[in-house]
Amino acid sequence: MNYILVVNAGSSSIKFRLYSENNLVEIASALCERIEIDGLFKISYQVNDKLEKFEEKTNFSSHEVAIDYCLKKLVDLKIVNNLNEIIGVGHRVVQGGEISQSSLIDTKVLAEIEKCIKLAPLHNKPELEVIKIINKKIPNSKPVAVFDTSFHTTIPKLNNYYPIPKKWVDSFKIKKYGFHGTSYRYIYEKMESIIKKGRPLNLIVCHLGNGASICCIKNGKSFDTTMGFTPMAGLIMGTRCGDIDPSIADYLINQEKNSATAVFNSYNKESGLKAICGSSDFRDINANVLPGNEFEFARDIFAQKVANTISVYLNHLENKIDGIVFTGGIGENDDIVRNIICKKIFVKKISVNASKNKLKYDDYKKISGLFSPIKVYAVRTNEELKIAQDTKSFIK
Ligand code: ADP
């Protein structure tokens, strides 16, 4: 049997998904965590239609050690017979710079990913390292890069231009790149299959997870999005501040004698919901809400910003919209937040059906009431499957 491996590398973790190549059924899902700290490995996998699990504390002193461990486990647990059965490896790459589509990784693509490290150091650096390691370990497989930025190359200049001196815009390629593109592509195709209009759709897709963004899709193409030059811009997120006055950085650097790096590290890791209420996880936030407390405020300010953005994007779409979609960990699972957001959209009186909103679901559901002027959906995203599909297209 042949397989496609999907790899999502971060600075201290690597997520793997293994798919059968012929019908893209998920065979295994593995996670190497706490790389360069200590090491934790988790895997769940299908054997003879039974779901098995294995977990081990170990020592991942580097990304290479973690990859070696995971690949060896795939063979030892008899999930694959040997690594040559993995004929394609799809890598999630956050920043693709000038590359607009998923690409077979050759020296030119590797060079572009390396060039983009400057734009997204937290993401592109470990991703590049992991691509090189896996190319060495499974040399016969086809490596494919799938970029988070790719869906947004259609955003018009009117929506992606930053009004700073042109010499910077031009020489440093500063513009709104946008992220979560693989999720938006997956959701767009899913929505086409759900609402079958036979023409390109107008959608507002809210990908609300730990990292959160919204995409305005006009005539089937990304027209605007909330993340920008980096994934720090836009909405309030778990630990990221989103859009704030750029001068705050300069002020803090001077006031607290901080380095720019320290301030931006705090913008990334100690801001957002965590800074407001102490937790970045909406399960904790919902559980602790009391009238007037900081958890209620965190939920409210998050929802308000999402609702305001939806209202702006309704204007982008000239009020012609086929649906609002909620996805990502919060968007898919949190009926309370979905309801609050919809209630805060005042330019249209959207109604949410309370029981449909609460209903358990696997794939997607419509949550809007019968007479709502805009249909609202909750849809489970699947970025890994999209990466596997793209990778497969290079194998055929
Ligand atoms: P990312 O991929 O950006 O790391 P996810 O899309 O996996 O994030 O979303 C993770 C977040 O989703 C959690 O931090 C939590 O806030 C939220 N979440 C996950 N499950 C639930 C749930 N059942 N109810 C409410 N929020 C949830």
Backbone angles phi, psi at 144, to 5 degrees: -130, 135
Tens of pLDDT, residues 143-156: 999 999 999 999 99
Domains in the chain (CATH in brackets) are 3-147 (3.30.420.40), 197-383 (3.30.420.40)
Please measure the distance between the N-terminal and C-terminal CA atoms of the chain and give it in whole angstroms. 15
Which residue is listed with tokens 């070696």?
68
Please work out whether the CB of residue 328 comes within 6 Å of at least one atom of ligand 1: yes
Is it the case that residue 15 has pLDDT exceeding 80?
Answer: yes
Is the CB–ligand 1 distance for residue 209 below 6 Å? Answer: yes
What kind and span of H or E run contains 142? strand 142-147
pLDDT in tens, 291-322: 999 999 999 999 999 999 999 999 999 999 99
Question: Across the chain, what does the average pLDDT equal?
Answer: 96
pLDDT at 119: 85
Which residue spans within 184-233 are E strands per DSSP? 203-208, 212-218, 221-225
- Report whether 339 contacts 357 (CB < 8 A): yes
- Ligand 1 center from residue 328 Cα (angstroms): 7
Amino acid identity for residue 72 in this structure: K
- pLDDT, one tens digit per residue, over 224-260 is 999 999 999 999 999 999 999 999 999 999 998 889 9
Check whether 191 has a pLDDT greater than 90.
Answer: yes
- Collapsed DSSP state (helix, strand, coil) of residue 240: coil
Residue 122, pLDDT > 90, answer: no
* 358 pocket-lining for ligand 1 (C-beta < 6 Å): no
Is residue 329 in contact with ligand 1, taking CB distance under 6 Å?
yes
For residue 286, what are its two tokens? 């919902």
Evaluate whether 141 touches 386 at the Cβ level (below 8 Å). no
Question: In this structure, which residue's CA is closest to atom 27 in ligand 1?
Answer: 330
Alpha carbon separation from 168 to 157, 173, 350 (Å, rounded): 16, 7, 42
Helix (H), strand (E), coil (C) string for 24-77: CCEEEEEEEECCCCCCEEEEEEEECCEEEEEEEECCCCCHHHHHHHHHHHHHHC
What's the pLDDT band for 47 if we cut at 50, 70, 90?
confident
pLDDT score at 120: 84
Active site residue 245: no
Confidence of residue 100 (pLDDT cuts 50, 70, 90): confident
List the residue whose alpha carbon is closest to atom 15 of ligand 1: 281
Spatial separation of the C-alpha atoms in residues 73 and 54, rounded to whole Å: 10
Longest CA span, the chain? 62
CA of 282 to the centre of ligand 1 (A): 7
Contact 330 CB / ligand 1 (< 6 Å): yes
Rounded to the nearest angstrom, the distance between the alpha carbon of 133 and the centre of ligand 1 is 30
Give the range among 93-107, 328-342, 364-378 with minimum mean pLDDT: 93-107
pLDDT at 157 over 80: yes
Q: How far is the CA of 208 from the centre of ligand 1 (A)?
A: 8
pTM for the structure as a whole: 0.94
Percent of the chain with pLDDT over 90: 94
Which residue is catalytic, options 68, 76, 106, 148? 148
Which of 203, 205, 157 is closest to 183 using CA atoms? 205
pLDDT reading at 121 higher than 90: no
